[in-house]
Chain A
């Protein structure tokens, strides 16, 4: 009996642990953000300080998406002659980043570049860190707006969702039944994109497309496989699938490529070129999109350097140079948008390696 209850305890614990696995696009919503108030004055002509100490804190280490972002951050660090130190938790739980934020503040770092696991869980620690002079830049996934200086948004929800609908429309030839394979049912960003997709589909130019179902693969290979199979069985006339999550799109592509549906059912989504190369080459997928995570990390780190050097304060309308990426302007609510996602096809995919 003792063993049994211990076993039960272990199982519940394991379930709880697995429930909070990390995803690449899962929580990276283009959230509504409020303006960061900053009384200090910006000096656009201030030179970038050398030897800045910047901490790079992803949602979790060992996540391929953030590994690529980290490379971008490190190259920006070299460009501004600063020192970028990457650290982070091995799980993407809501509160796991707090100790890392506190450590960065104690180590007297100049800036913190963070992708927040939870907008509110990290806010108190970020506020304390900022009161000690640390500049905070969030990227990919925002923290509460009053807890950071600038948020680097990878792309707006509208751009992402509209792009996805356009790609699937082109792939299926403008008419037919389509379905969405999402991540988890409660992922903020996914749901925001799905809403925009529905609005897009209501437009006259997409009148031939009919969204028949939204399935959730939980950013898990096995589940995504099963959900793809289910979609194809439940809808015999299905022409296309949109999977706006890196795990889902790769799993769906792998399943399609090894089934009799290959070539008959089209697929697009958000995926990395390395992940999708095989399926673009063998014809399973015609095109898909994603922003470049390394550019995201680069821009976030460059912005952190600009903040720490006093070039910008995070107020709306301020302009600054971000090295190779050119000039950026801070938008409403302290938000900077990286740019529209890149579309990958058979013709350009070999130019990318991430």
Chain B
């Protein structure tokens, strides 16, 4: 009796370990990332040299930043399609502010961009949360409104690197201990958002809202207020991303960031955030952005003909999602077999 009892319990422990590993949703993306990076590095070792790794991280950092904000929104079963336009507006206004007011302190200028994003996010949030309009419709509308305002304010003007302060441009290229500053900023935002979603009551409530809005209301969660907060945060982050865009690219006109929302939503979905809310992590979304950026870069390094790159990029994206999905299915199966045994 005792002998037969210990064997299954040992098996359960082993299974528990595998499920715990399998439950780390992000692992699937890391595997996919390795599947992209390792073969490319074998073909061209320069792909994993420091300059190249820095570039990969830098390329992904702005999309990853937007993906963090988007994740907060998507978890509550909403979507923010206006992020590309918010980034564009913030980038242009920040650049213009720096160009027209030489001597603006670096942080004040970036704060100006963040404030622009905040205002845009507040408008989105008010319309969605108080107006009770579906977020898809609201943000599709504001996508055009913000871009239109951007065009109207810019009047065809372009702000160039020579008009921007060196401190700002240096921010786009400088490094701390070999890590680019922009990447550090992104990582900091990811960490803050991850801790908020994981350990704060209001953060957990976002998942509850996305899982079942009616139940969340009945449970006494202030759904409207939480929804408003997520849109404000998404706008705020997009505003910051706009200021960083200026630092990175140095040339800004009213078209900056056009169409970026598609990359952001793709990164979020690839990162394992359920598009219908209720599950997903910011780290996953950020890794999704890194994976997408890396796929594009590896195609260039492998010298795939330009005409094929988009198609292959899409196909690789689908296979990355497949790998992730297979892992998820295996996990679900493992969970079913271990049903009855406790899972915290």
Contacts and interface: CB of A to CB of B under 8 A. Distances in A.
A229 B81 CA distance: 29
A234 B301 contact: yes
B132 interface: no
B36 to A, nearest CB: 14
Given A3-B136, A62-B151, A225 B59 contact: yes
A278 B248 CA distance: 14
Given A62-B154, A230-B297, A233-B52, A258 B160 contact: no
B296 interface: yes
B296 A254 contact: no
A64 B300 contact: no
A234 B302 CA distance: 7
B318 interface: no
Contacts of A260: 51
Interface string A186-212: 000000000000000000000000000
Given A7-B79, A15-B262, A21 B255 contact: yes
A185 interface: yes
Nearest to A216: B306
A279 B47 CA distance: 26
A11 B265 contact: yes
A179 to B, nearest CB: 11
Given A62-B151, A229-B52, A254-B250, A277 B160 contact: yes
Nearest to B253: A64
A14 interface: yes
A278 B250 CA distance: 10
A261 B173 CA distance: 13
Contacts of B136: 3, 6-7, 10
Contacts of B161: 250, 254, 275, 277-279
Contacts of B154: 62
B160 A11 contact: no
Interface string A27-67: 00000000000000000000000000000000001111011
Interface in B279-305: 293, 296-297, 299-303
Which of the four size classes fits the interface of chain A?
35 or more
A233 B162 contact: no
Interface string B154-176: 11111011110000010011000
A62 B306 CA distance: 29
Contact of A278 (B162, B262, B293, B296): B162
A184 to B, nearest CB: 9
Interface residues of B, number: 51
Nearest to A4: B275
Nearest to A18: B259
A212 to B, nearest CB: 9
Contact of B300 (A66, A222, A226): A226
A170 interface: no
B160 A278 contact: yes
Interface string A259-281: 11100000000001011111101
B251 A227 contact: no
A142 B298 CA distance: 38
A239 B311 CA distance: 30
Contacts of B172: 258
A90 interface: yes
Contact of A185 (B151, B262, B306): B306
A326 interface: no
Contacts of B148: 90
B244 interface: no
Interface in A156-171: none
Interface string A282-326: 000000000000000000000000000000000000000000000
Contacts of B301: 230, 233-234
Given A7-B275, A233-B47, A279-B161, A14 B259 contact: yes
Contact of B51 (A11, A259, A281): A259
A227 B44 CA distance: 16
A251 interface: yes
Interface string B294-324: 0011011111001100000000000000000
Nearest to B140: A10
A234 B162 contact: no
Given A14-B259, A215-B300, A275 B306 contact: no
Task: Name the residue in A3, A62, A250 with the highest tally of chain B Cβ atoms < 10 Å from its Cβ.
Answer: A62
**3 closest A-B pairs by CB:** A230-B300, A258-B173, A67-B156
5 contacts: A10-B136, A233-B52, A275-B161, A277-B161, A278-B250
Given A3-B276, A62-B253, A278-B161, 4 more contacts: A225-B249, A226-B300, A251-B251, A254-B251
